[in-house]
């Protein structure tokens, strides 16, 4: 048992209610976020609010693409009986065990386990609990994690299925080994922030002219790393890569992203044709489940200086474990809304540190930038202690919907100081974009701007 | 394009409606189906009915454990817009492409992809379509598949992500190579059936005495292979294995099943302690996602003569591909209700054949025996041509709910001859056990026999 902490102790921390809202934005209308596999995304999220008797609430979310958001929201409701009536402070002091209860519900686990809809629902609940914890402590999540006693932090993780790579004792030791210089790194984050790259220059749906315009805009903002979507057809990809290099030059970094479009051998052949553009990495070359396939691709592309990145649709820590063990990726792209929330993501950071792989988080969507910059900042202050060749993805979308959105200056995420996990939506966002009854949705349906598919 | 076939041609094959029912049976009350991870299953299914203008309907299902069945049913509804109004005959002649449309829905795939809730929903829809196809042709599914032109059969499969192991042309060739002796094998199946093993002797919730009683009962029925659950505690496992060997002797086969309870190293240590009981296989020793972990376990247990079996919770063909590539299993346990229905399961059979691994299907639950015996019989007539060391699991549960249930004689599944996929429920089953409004559920709620958790 950990030392008691007055902020998270008290009978008034009983959870009185948990709600899940289906929130959608009509981003498909502008082609934003489009890629080879997801041609018409409507950036959406399941937005969970956990209320306590003390009156403090936690807000958390998982990102979705429109249709199916209601399915995840329903799953949050199915899990709610495990949350409601529990004391939040007791949850935090036995968080690893609580996480296992949520993910191992004896009947619901059959329709997962720890993947897809059920795990997205867990992520939204868990993220809301971290927001609550951080608000109770009066700190942003990155600072809460940075200040946390190593044993307490490690106790939030369920190590089931990963002890062959890292044990709780080893994780504690990794934190202790990297404690030196922590204050200095924290100070540095508050002053200059953490570097990011942009994906805003090359969605599949963008025209050549718009790509050039966007490149100029982001270069002017100080960006030095740029990602574009590939995989629709090779000639178009060559043209787009050429435009990018013309605009950003050869000192800046170029990354390309196929969003799972290829088979294993196809990925290798295709990327050899793009090698002349010297991409730093190819992202999601094939199925997000294909560890061995990614390992084959990594080995084949290594002579060309092209690394492999993946992770945004990696289902859970067991899949990440294998990607890390098999040298199937050289850049590990955790996602703050997919695997089972902060607790499980921390386990991936520990495995990546142990196996010496760089973490470069996926972000964008709704709230992903807001959440993940906390985690990467903690990694810098407390675990990896390094920013070398590391960036957080940045997409300029939906930030205006949040009360405390991320702030990017000179291509760096600034360290937020407001308590919580930065994912509380503005009341007017909910009023307008809750689906399907929000005022903006009703307007779009009425005016025929948007047609419901179901 | 395939040769036209009058049975599946016609404008009256337009699909007029698709429905999904939440069906549950209160099996948790008797401890049936209980294991180390699933302590209180209520055997359930999402039951899909697809109606056509011709008046012929298809019935298909996916198996669930109670809570969450409604979530999968809702997902079937979300996918229905891709099914309704389509011509079933045209679906069958472009089935591989249709399957990809269902699994790649541009927004819904984000909450999968091809795993968990969304893929279970796909399985139920796809299985209903095969039932419809077989009924239109007037054949049971095993016979439909056996008689099918190799090119047509292979065209039902989406080979995305698996062409590094098997291509469509290779699959056709495998069928041609194994065509000799087909009639003889078909005749044999109709006469003596296909061997099965029983899991009915050792659920975790059963007492020692009940286990002995069940062993005697199944030996008397002619069974020669018996599976028990392990993993709760080692002393209890040793005692249960001892009871089994006392009852079944050493000539009969014993298999043990841990249902994912262990970490990798723990699995090895535990199984070494059970090696004296000479189990044929250890089933699901660890996370169903851990290909590399299973490979490590396989290698470590091989000197003890213990094989590894897994697959009932394997998410999709990409995961099966890796299990097969990595020698992570020696017995491949396809499940008829989990991965995306018949089309995807066929792809696993082809990969297993190519990589020389035996398929021993998982069954039990609701309707799994009914469906999977069709597939294994096709494998025998048309692909592997062998029954050596192969069994289909058999559990005597819920068969009475179906109009054409499986028939087991002398520990063999008999070849059914009624058209379809054998998963049409009796009208009274629906009247009694549709959840929560079926008459039996209402009675159990009213009498306080069963309490709703949500």
Model confidence pLDDT, tens digit, residues B392-425: 999 988 999 999 999 999 999 999 999 999 999 9
Contact status, residue A329 vs residue A352, Cβ threshold 8 Å: no
B182: CB partners within 8 A, 6+ apart: B146, B381, B382
Model confidence pLDDT, tens digit, residues B165-208: 999 999 999 999 999 999 999 999 999 999 999 999 988 878 99
Whole-angstrom distance, CA of residue B212 vs CA of residue B379? 34
Model confidence pLDDT, tens digit, residues B346-405: 999 999 999 999 999 999 999 999 999 999 999 999 999 999 999 999 998 899 999 999
Is position A343 within any domain? Answer: yes
- Structure confidence at residue A454 as a pLDDT band (50, 70, 90): low
* Nearest residue in chain A measured CA to CA from B121: A111
Both tokens assigned to A155: 């106790």
Contact status, residue B162 vs residue B346, Cβ threshold 8 Å: no
Is position A139 within any domain? Answer: no
State whether the Cα torsion B64-B438-B370-B255 is positive or negative: positive
Mean pLDDT of B333-343: 96
Mutate to test the interface with A, among B287, B310, B453 (most CBs of A within 10 A): B287
For residue B224, which phi and psi values (nearest 5 degrees)? -125, 0
Look at residue A395 in the predicted model and tell me its pLDDT: 92
Whole-angstrom distance, CA of residue A136 vs CA of residue A174? 27
For residue B246, pLDDT beyond 70: yes
Whole-angstrom distance, CA of residue A280 vs CA of residue A149? 37
H-type alpha helices, A258-315? 264-274, 291-301
For residue A243, pLDDT beyond 70: yes
Catalytic member of A115, A214, A362, A399: A362
List chain A residues with CB under 8 Å of B71: 71, 74-75, 78, 111, 117
Mean pLDDT of A425-447: 97
A164·B113 Cβ contact <8 A: no
Model confidence pLDDT, tens digit, residues A128-160: 999 999 999 999 999 999 999 999 999 999 999
Question: How distant is the Cα of A82 from the closest Cα of chain B, in angstroms?
Answer: 10
A451: CB partners within 8 A, 6+ apart: A445
Grouping H, G, I as helix, E, B as strand and the rest as coil, residue B370 is: helix
Contact status, residue B344 vs residue B154, Cβ threshold 8 Å: no
**CATH number of the domain enclosing B307:** 3.20.20.120
**Burial status of residue B183 (CB atoms within 10 A of its CB: 0-12, 13-18, 19 or more):** exposed
Whole-angstrom distance, CA of residue A214 vs CA of residue B372? 54
A163·B265 Cβ contact <8 A: yes
**Burial status of residue A158 (CB atoms within 10 A of its CB: 0-12, 13-18, 19 or more):** buried
| Packing angle, helices A69-79 and B69-79, rounded to 10 | 170
State whether the Cα torsion B34-B36-B41-B47 is positive or negative: negative
DSSP B338: S
Cα distances (angstroms) measured from residue A116 to each of A164, A372, B61, B66: 24, 20, 19, 18
ipTM over 0.95: yes
A378: CB partners within 8 A, 6+ apart: A141, A142, A145, A146
For residue B453, pLDDT beyond 80: no
Closest by CA position to B274, among listed B247, B296, B252, B245: B245
Among candidates B117, B164, B315 on the partner chain, residue whose Cβ is nearest the Cβ of A71: B117
Among candidates A71, A115, A286 on the partner chain, residue whose Cβ is nearest the Cβ of B74: A71
Grouping H, G, I as helix, E, B as strand and the rest as coil, residue B307 is: strand
List chain A residues with CB under 8 Å of B38: 106-107, 109-110
Among candidates B105, B110, B322 on the partner chain, residue whose Cβ is nearest the Cβ of A290: B322
Mean pLDDT of B151-164: 98
Both tokens assigned to B151: 């090119």
A74·B74 Cβ contact <8 A: yes
Active site (annotated) includes residue A229:
yes
Contact status, residue B283 vs residue B297, Cβ threshold 8 Å: no
Whole-angstrom distance, CA of residue B47 vs CA of residue B22? 7
Model confidence pLDDT, tens digit, residues B9-56: 999 999 999 999 999 999 998 777 778 788 889 999 999 999 999 999
For residue A4, pLDDT beyond 70: no
Both tokens assigned to A140: 């942003």
B453·A81 Cβ contact <8 A: yes
Cα distances (angstroms) measured from residue A315 to each of A174, A287, A297, B326: 25, 12, 20, 20
Look at residue B205 in the predicted model and tell me its pLDDT: 79
Mean pLDDT of A418-430: 98
Question: How distant is the Cα of B294 from the closest Cα of chain A, in angstroms?
Answer: 11
Mean pLDDT of A320-327: 98
B79: CB partners within 8 A, 6+ apart: B102, B105, B108, B121, B122, B125
How many domains does chain B divide into? 1
Among candidates A105, A161, A287 on the partner chain, residue whose Cβ is nearest the Cβ of B161: A287
Whole-angstrom distance, CA of residue B391 vs CA of residue B362? 9
Among candidates B118, B313, B316 on the partner chain, residue whose Cβ is nearest the Cβ of A117: B118
- Structure confidence at residue A1 as a pLDDT band (50, 70, 90): very low
pLDDT more than 70, % of chain B: 98
Question: How distant is the Cα of B214 from the closest Cα of chain A, in angstroms?
Answer: 26
pLDDT more than 90, % of chain B: 93
Mutate to test the interface with B, among A65, A84, A107 (most CBs of B within 10 A): A107
Q: What is the 3-state secondary structure (H, E, C) of A438-450?
A: CHHHHHHHHCCCC
List chain A residues with CB under 8 Å of B111: 64, 68, 71-72, 116-117, 120
Both tokens assigned to A12: 């008034």
Look at residue A159 in the predicted model and tell me its pLDDT: 98
Question: How distant is the Cα of A265 from the closest Cα of chain B, in angstroms?
Answer: 7
* Nearest residue in chain A measured CA to CA from B120: A111
Question: How distant is the Cα of A189 from the closest Cα of chain B, in angstroms?
Answer: 33
Contact status, residue B274 vs residue B241, Cβ threshold 8 Å: yes
* Nearest residue in chain A measured CA to CA from B286: A161
- Structure confidence at residue A205 as a pLDDT band (50, 70, 90): confident
For residue B340, the enclosing domain spans 182-423
Look at residue B4 in the predicted model and tell me its pLDDT: 58
State whether the Cα torsion B341-B347-B353-B358 is positive or negative: negative
Among candidates A42, A106, A116 on the partner chain, residue whose Cβ is nearest the Cβ of B38: A106
Mean pLDDT (chain B, rounded) = 96
DSSP letter string, A124-188: HHHHHHHHHHHHHHTSBHHHHHHHS-HHHHHHTS--TTTTTT--HHHHHHHHHHT-TTHHHHHHH
Is position B189 within any domain? Answer: yes
Q: How many CA atoms lie within 13 A of B383 on its CB side?
A: 29
Model confidence pLDDT, tens digit, residues A85-129: 999 999 999 999 999 999 999 999 999 999 999 999 999 999 999
Is position A93 within any domain? Answer: no
B163·A296 Cβ contact <8 A: no
- Neighbour tally for A185: CB within 10 Å: 19
Look at residue A44 in the predicted model and tell me its pLDDT: 98
Look at residue B1 in the predicted model and tell me its pLDDT: 44
* Nearest residue in chain B measured CA to CA from A81: B454
Decide the pairing of beta strands A194-198 and A392-394: parallel
Q: Does residue B129 come out as left (phi exceeding 0), alpha (psi in the -120 to 50 range) or beta? A: alpha
Question: How distant is the Cα of B307 from the closest Cα of chain A, in angstroms?
Answer: 20
Task: For Cα atoms B41, B42, B43, give the angle at the middle one, nearest 5 degrees.
Answer: 100
Is position A438 within any domain? Answer: no
- Structure confidence at residue A206 as a pLDDT band (50, 70, 90): confident
Whole-angstrom distance, CA of residue B401 vs CA of residue B438? 14
* Nearest residue in chain A measured CA to CA from B40: A106
Is position B409 within any domain? Answer: yes
Length of chain B: 454
Contact status, residue A168 vs residue A160, Cβ threshold 8 Å: no
Is position B432 within any domain? Answer: no
For residue A348, pLDDT beyond 90: yes
Whole-angstrom distance, CA of residue B114 vs CA of residue A77? 23
Mean pLDDT (chain A, rounded) = 96
Look at residue A203 in the predicted model and tell me its pLDDT: 83
Contact status, residue A313 vs residue A126, Cβ threshold 8 Å: no
Contact status, residue B304 vs residue B313, Cβ threshold 8 Å: no
B161·A66 Cβ contact <8 A: no
Look at residue A204 in the predicted model and tell me its pLDDT: 82
Grouping H, G, I as helix, E, B as strand and the rest as coil, residue A321 is: helix
Positions of B marked active-site? 229, 362
Closest by CA position to B381, among listed B130, B177, B219, B183: B183
State whether the Cα torsion A377-A367-A112-A311 is positive or negative: negative
Length of chain A: 454
Contact status, residue A182 vs residue A193, Cβ threshold 8 Å: no
Mean pLDDT of A300-318: 98
For residue A5, pLDDT beyond 90: no
Both tokens assigned to B83: 């099914």
For residue A3, pLDDT beyond 60: no
Task: For Cα atoms A284, A290, A295, give the angle at the middle one, nearest 5 degrees.
Answer: 80
Is position A187 within any domain? Answer: yes
Both tokens assigned to B418: 């009624």
Both tokens assigned to A221: 């903002």
DSSP letter string, B145-198: HHHS-HHHHHHTS--TTTTTT--HHHHHHHHHHT-TTHHHHHHHHHHH-EEEEE
């Amino acid at each position: 048992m950990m030392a008691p902490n007055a902020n998270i102790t008290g009978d008034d921390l009983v959870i009185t209610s948990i709600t899940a809202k289906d929130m959608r934005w009509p981003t498909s209308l502008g082609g934003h976020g489009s890629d080879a596999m997801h041609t018409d995304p409507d950036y959406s999220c399941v937005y969970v609010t956990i209320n306590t008797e003390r009156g403090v609430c936690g807000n958390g979310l998982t990102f979705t693409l429109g249709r199916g958001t209601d399915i995840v929201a329903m799953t949050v409701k199915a899990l709610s009986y495990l949350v409601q009536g529990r004391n939040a402070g007791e949850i935090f002091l036995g968080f690893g065990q609580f996480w296992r209860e949520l993910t191992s519900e004896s009947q619901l686990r059959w329709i997962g386990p720890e993947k897809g809809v059920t795990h997205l629902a867990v992520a939204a609940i868990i993220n809301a609990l971290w927001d609550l914890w951080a608000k109770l402590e009066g700190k942003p999540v990155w600072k809460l994690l940075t200040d946390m006693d190593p044993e307490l932090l490690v106790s939030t993780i369920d190590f089931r299925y990963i002890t062959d790579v890292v044990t709780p004792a080893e994780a504690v030791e990794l934190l202790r080994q990297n404690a030196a210089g922590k204050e200095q790194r924290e100070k540095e984050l508050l002053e200059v922030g953490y570097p990011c790259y942009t994906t805003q220059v090359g969605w599949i749906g963008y025209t050549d002219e718009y790509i050039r315009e966007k490149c100029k805009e982001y270069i002017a903002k100080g960006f030095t790393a740029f990602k574009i979507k590939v995989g629709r057809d090779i000639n178009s990809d060559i043209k787009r890569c050429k435009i990018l290099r013309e605009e950003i030059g050869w000192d800046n970094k170029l990354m390309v992203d196929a969003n799972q479009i290829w088979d294993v051998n196809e990925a290798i052949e295709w990327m050899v044709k793009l090698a002349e553009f010297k991409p730093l990495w190819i992202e999601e070359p094939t199925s997000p489940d294909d560890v061995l396939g990614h390992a084959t691709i990594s080995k084949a592309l290594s002579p060309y200086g092209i690394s492999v990145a993946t992770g945004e649709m990696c289902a859970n820590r067991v899949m990440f474990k294998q990607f890390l063990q098999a040298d199937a990726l050289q850049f590990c792209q955790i996602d703050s809304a997919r695997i089972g929330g902060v607790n499980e993501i921390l386990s991936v950071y520990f495995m990546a540190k142990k196996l010496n792989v760089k973490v470069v988080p996926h972000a964008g969507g709704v709230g992903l930038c807001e959440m993940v910059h906390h985690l990467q900042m903690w990694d810098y202050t407390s675990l990896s202690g390094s920013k070398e060749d590391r960036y957080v993805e940045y997409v300029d979308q939906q930030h205006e919907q949040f009360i405390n959105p991320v702030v990017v200056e000179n291509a760096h995420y600034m360290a937020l100081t407001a308590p919580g996990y930065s994912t509380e939506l503005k009341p007017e966002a909910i009023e307008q974009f809750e689906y399907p009854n929000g005022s903006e949705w009703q307007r779009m349906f009425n005016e025929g701007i948007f047609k419901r598919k179901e």
